[in-house]
């Protein structure tokens, strides 16, 4: 029985202290500065045994006016366009995003915003609240943010769809990407699509025939032509008749004096498979005309 009386006395003392010092005993912390005048008026927000009803919040904060203020002429003007979205919320339950008793700084009263409270049509209109990033990539894409980003995590790993890029920039890869710093890419053009696909960077394909056709006589290791695997340079000398003196003699005989860059004319090992440059064409035509005149004289 004595223990029962002790518990009863302790309970009465606690209730008495709560009644005498309600704010110190019950309050979990300071309200933020704009609510500081309500510090000792708990029931302006709280309802006994019912939490915080939404109507207590909107009795002071009209949802349609959040982010607006009235000027001297009685007109509503925007003071913060980023929070005008409140009127579009389908679930206007204030405590889902806002809390209090966390200190004087109003930012401390904000929870992470859940975009599920927005209607689906507004959920996809990101730029109505957020500014589009000012960088090379975002300057070239549409405003369909949800194609790459999710509302739960802005940096979540969603594959980028290159179809979102404006047509004028779609093939200009280096507008967003840097050219790799290796021997091969150092001499390649900006036509990345000739080896890579937009939806998958690897594996890549390289068609050597676009530079030089590797026929049955040229199926060899890269280092045979690209000494020390330096893909920036190549040499045709060192194989068969390909010595500097032989090449020089044969080309001068044809009136060709610029023969340092073999593949500028030769598409393959077949000497007749020639991609003639302007000088070579002129020399070739001149030679053919001369031969024709000699035949006519005969």
The pLDDT value given to residue 88:
75
CA distance 109 to 7: 38
Report in angstroms the alpha-carbon separations of 220 from 157, 217, 263. 42, 8, 17
pTM metric for this prediction? 0.42
Q: Which DSSP string corresponds to 68-118?
A: EEE-TTS-EEES-GGGGGGGGBS---GGGTB--SS-S-GGGGBPPP-GGGB
Question: What local confidence, expressed as pLDDT, does residue 189 receive?
Answer: 66
Question: In angstroms, what CA-CA distances link 249 with 54, 96, 240, 243, 291?
Answer: 95, 87, 15, 10, 20
How confident is the model at residue 108, as a pLDDT? 65
Coil, helix or strand at residue 165: strand
What does the pLDDT read at residue 22? 64
Query: Do 236 and 250 contact (CB within 8 A), yes or no?
Result: no
Report the C-alpha dihedral over residues 47, 49, 51, 53, rounded to 10 degrees: -50
**Cα–Cα nearest to 89, from 64, 68, 119:** 119
Q: What's the pLDDT at 128?
A: 75
Res 74: pLDDT:
67
DSSP codes, 212-226:
----TT----HHHHS
How far apart are alpha carbons 40 and 38 in whole angstroms? Answer: 6
pLDDT one digit per residue (tens) for the chain, 298 residues: 577 777 787 888 777 777 666 666 666 777 777 787 787 788 888 887 778 888 888 888 888 788 777 777 767 776 677 777 787 776 667 888 888 877 666 666 677 777 878 777 777 778 777 777 887 778 777 667 877 787 777 766 566 777 777 776 677 787 778 788 777 787 666 678 788 887 777 888 888 888 888 888 788 888 888 888 888 788 888 676 678 888 888 888 877 888 788 888 888 887 777 776 555 556 655 666 666 666 666 6
Q: Contact at 8 Å (CB) between 173 and 195? A: no
Structure confidence at residue 183 (pLDDT): 75
């Amino acid at each position: 029985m004595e223990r029962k009386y002790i518990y009863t006395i302790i309970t009465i003392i606690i209730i008495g202290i709560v009644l005498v010092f309600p704010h110190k005993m019950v309050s979990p912390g300071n309200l933020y500065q704009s609510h500081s005048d309500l510090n000792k008026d708990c029931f302006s927000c709280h309802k006994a045994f019912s939490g915080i009803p939404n109507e207590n919040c909107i009795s002071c904060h009209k949802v349609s006016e959040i982010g607006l203020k009235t000027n001297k002429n009685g007109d509503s003007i925007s003071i913060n366009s980023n929070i005008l979205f409140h009127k579009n919320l389908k679930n206007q339950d204030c405590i889902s995003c806002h809390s209090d008793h966390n200190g004087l700084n109003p930012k401390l009263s904000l929870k992470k915003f859940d975009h599920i409270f927005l209607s689906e049509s507004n959920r996809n209109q990101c730029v109505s609240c957020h500014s589009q990033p000012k960088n090379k990539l975002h300057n070239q894409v549409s405003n369909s943010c949800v194609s790459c980003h999710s509302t739960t995590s802005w940096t979540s790993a969603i594959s980028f769809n290159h179809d979102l890029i404006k047509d004028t920039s779609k093939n200009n890869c280096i507008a967003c990407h840097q050219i790799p710093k290796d021997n091969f890419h150092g001499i390649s053009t900006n036509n990345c699509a000739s080896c890579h696909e937009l939806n998958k960077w690897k594996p890549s394909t390289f068609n050597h025939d676009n530079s030089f056709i590797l026929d049955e006589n040229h199926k060899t290791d890269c280092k045979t032509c690209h000494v020390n695997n330096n893909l920036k340079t190549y040499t045709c000398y060192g194989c068969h008749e390909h010595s500097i003196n032989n090449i020089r003699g044969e080309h001068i005989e044809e009136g060709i004096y610029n023969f340092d860059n073999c593949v500028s004319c030769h598409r393959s090992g077949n000497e007749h498979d020639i991609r003639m440059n302007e000088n070579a064409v002129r020399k070739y035509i001149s030679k053919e005309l001369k031969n024709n005149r000699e035949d006519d004289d005969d």
